[in-house]
Amino acid sequence: MPTSVPCPNCGKAVPWAPESRWRPFCSERCRLIDLGDWFDEAHRIAGEPGLDSDVDPAVDANLDADTAANEEERSPFFH
């Protein structure tokens, strides 16, 4: 049974094994966040959807929806 370590960022147990490429972090996301908030911003802009992120695509979708809604709210004023 492999030894596990807690992710320094979120506390999730991370198997101390070669396949845990971001150890001691549970994921690239936690590793980058631990580098600092400024890097978190940069990471969101760079955006790598589909790796292990189930949050960022939803955030992007919400932003797009908000933008579309605002445009629809605005358009009646032009008529």
Name the residues that contact Zn ion, by CB under 5 A.
7, 9-10, 12, 26, 30
Q: Is 28 annotated as a binding residue?
A: no
CB of 9 to Zn ion, least distance (A): 4
Cβ closest to Zn ion, residue 12 vs residue 66: 12
Q: Which helix (H) or strand (E) holds 13?
A: strand 13-15
CB of 53 to Zn ion, least distance (A): 12
Q: Is 23 annotated as a binding residue?
A: no
Map tokens 């996301």 to a residue. 29
Q: Is 54 exposed, middle or buried (0-12, 13-18, 19+ CB in 10 A)?
A: exposed
